[in-house]
Amino acid sequence: MQEHFAVRIRHERPMSDLTYKVRAPLKLTLETGKSVAIENWSLSGITYPEPADILPKVALLSIPFQGVEVQFDVRFANSPNKGELLFEGLSGRQRETLAVFYRSILSGKMASTEEVITSLDTPVDLVPMGETEEERSVGSANTSNRLLRILWNAFFYLGLAFLIFGVIGTQIFNRLSQVSLEHARISAPLVEHRATEDAFIDAILVEQGQHVSRGDTLIRLNLPNQESALEDIREDIERAERDVAAALSNLMNHQTIRQQQRQLLADAYQRAVSAHPNTRFGSSTNIRRIFYTRWQFDRFDQETQLAQGTYFDTERDLRRQYEATDTRLSRLKRDLGNTKDIIDAINIVAQVDGIVQSVEVFKDQYVSRGDEVLTIEEDAPRVVRAWLNEARSEAIFVGMQTNIRFNDGSGTRSVDGQITDITAGIDLQATDEYGLIVTVAIDDLPPEDLRGQFRPDAPVSLSAIKDWGWLENWDRK
């Protein structure tokens, strides 16, 4: 019959008695920089050589070896014995290094270099074969924390990769599929109206938001010098009209006298004939009277045909006076019309059909030549204007499709457009650099809707779409 014995294996560090103190100098460097020589020490702790109310908790321990010092940081715990400090939390290497010198002192044999190196190379602390409850709980906690760290690292690096590759990939895709235009903004076809002369505002005939037609008078201006000249001409016309009326009256009165005078001659002839008796018709006295009155009458008619004689000389003078006054009146009326044209020419007249956007002046205000007085938005669609560096002039062309993105207050919207004009120059509203000024028409929106959705100078994002079918379709999804 065989007997079975239970075997219990216990792992212990070498020299379990760690409390035996040896006398060998060690050096302890405190946090204050002060160095203290330790004469009594063991593998469990040291005896502090100086009396102190507060003993150090951490220090730098130096062990002399063949002219050099082996140093490492140590922590101390309080001991029940006064003046003693116990080592706390020594690592395996620290314990093995300290144990090499401890054994060499006890044995009286100096430690070899190989032993010291071996102690310094001790890889891990020696641990008991079993595992305590505390160690098991700590292990479970570490396992849980390790899992959380793995999950966190996984999500972090996935997010970082998505961010990096998403941003870089988007930039590469955008670079390949479209041309980004800079300083894009809504441009309204505004027509500024400016004063043509130094003048006063006489009347404002329109208001903001009113629709006007080309040629409509918007603002009347008052030129004091021209208004004075106009009044003088009107007074001259009134006098000339009176002179013409008087000359015409004199001429007509004179022509009335001619008819009366002929009638008088005719009557005298009839009286001479009637007064001559029929039985004595050949009497010389009566015959001479008849012939004389007849001669006067015939001479009057002959002078009428030939326009000769005193009467007709007077009539010609009167007619010349009438024609001269009438000519002067016509000239004054022509001067009046010219002066009115000059005054009307300085009035502000609508240059285009459109809507009054702003009125910059008020009644009786004095304006100088060139001052802005009124702005009209033409009855034409609003467009997008943008700038592009001249180095990329080959990347765009007239008729190229574009994509316009803007925020209408409820979110980002996108509409299509088309490049209608490309000019080289400097767009002072955008930049002072020389480049390409690109004009884009917005598709499928009438002017009224464009005015409602796009205010002038509103910023937008503008991209010209390259003619790559599959990329274009992908970008619009």
Q: What percent of the chain has pLDDT over 70?
A: 78
Predicted confidence (pLDDT) per residue in 54-85, tens digit: 788 888 888 877 667 888 888 888 888 887 88
- Asked if residue 293 is part of any domain, the answer here is yes
Examine the pLDDT at 382 and tell me if it is beyond 70. yes
Per-residue model confidence as pLDDT tens digits over 109-157: 766 667 666 665 555 444 444 555 555 565 565 566 778 888 888 888 8
Instruction: Indicate if 303 and 451 belong to the same structural domain.
Output: no
Of 103, 121, 139, which marks where a domain is finished? 121
Q: Are residues 212 and 259 in the same domain?
A: no
Is 399 domain-assigned? Answer: yes
- Does residue 291 sit in the same domain as residue 197? no
Asked if 366 and 441 sit in the same domain, the reply is no
Q: What is the pLDDT of residue 359?
A: 93
Task: Locate 186 and state its tokens.
Answer: 């809504």
pLDDT above 70 (res 20)? no
User: What average pLDDT does the chain have?
Assistant: 78
Chain segment 352-376, per-residue pLDDT in tens: 999 999 999 999 899 998 999 999 9
Q: Kindly state whether residue 132 falls inside one of the protein's structural domains.
A: no
Look at residue 263 and tell me if it is in a domain. Answer: yes
Q: For position 129, what pLDDT does the model report?
A: 46
Would you state the pLDDT for residue 375? 94
Q: Is 73 found in the same domain as 35? A: yes
284: left (phi over 0), alpha (psi -120 to 50) or beta: alpha
Choice between 159 and 365, residue whose per-residue pLDDT is larger: 365
Show which of 295, 329, 345 is a domain's final residue.
345
Domain check: are 229 and 259 in the same one?
yes
Top pLDDT among 456 and 383 is at: 383
| Same-domain check for residues 300 and 364 | no
Q: What pLDDT sits at residue 374?
A: 94
- What is the identity of the amino acid at 99? A
Q: Which of 185-189, 344-348, 397-401, 447-451 has the lowest mean pLDDT?
A: 447-451
CATH number of the domain where residue 62 is located: 2.40.10.220
Do 357 and 396 fall within a single domain? no
Is the Cα torsion angle 420, 423, 429, 433 positive or negative in sign? positive
Distance CA 228, CA 381 (A): 45
Output the six-digit token pair for 33.
């920089």
Please count the structural domains in the chain: 4
Q: Which CATH number is 357's domain given?
A: 2.40.50.100
Say yes or no to pLDDT of 7 above 90: no
**pLDDT given for residue 21 in this prediction:** 65
In a domain, 104, yes or no: yes
Residue 280 is predicted with a pLDDT of: 57
366 Cβ neighbours under 8 A, 6+ residues apart? 198, 199, 200, 201
Answer yes or no: are the C-beta atoms of 373 and 191 closer than 8 Å. no
Bridge partners of 204, per DSSP, are 219
- Angstrom distance (rounded) from CA 15 to CA 17: 5
* pLDDT value of position 272: 83
Q: Which structural domain range is residue 360 located in?
A: 190-219+351-375
Percentage with pLDDT > 90 across the chain = 15
Residue 133 resides in a domain: no
Same domain, yes or no: 235 and 338: yes
pLDDT of residue 352: 92
Structural domain ending residue among the three candidates 329, 345, 361: 345
What span, in angstroms and rounded, lies between the C-alpha atoms of 229 and 239? 16
| Confidence class for position 470, pLDDT limits 50, 70, 90 | very low
Instruction: For residues 62 and 80, state if they share a domain.
Output: yes
Whether 309 and 229 map to the same domain: the answer is yes
Distance CA 94, CA 96 (A): 6
DSSP secondary-structure letter at 466? Answer: P
CATH value at residue 394: 2.40.30.170
Regarding whether 294 and 322 lie in a shared domain, the answer is yes
Residue 130 counted as domain residue: no
Q: Provide the pLDDT for residue 218.
A: 92
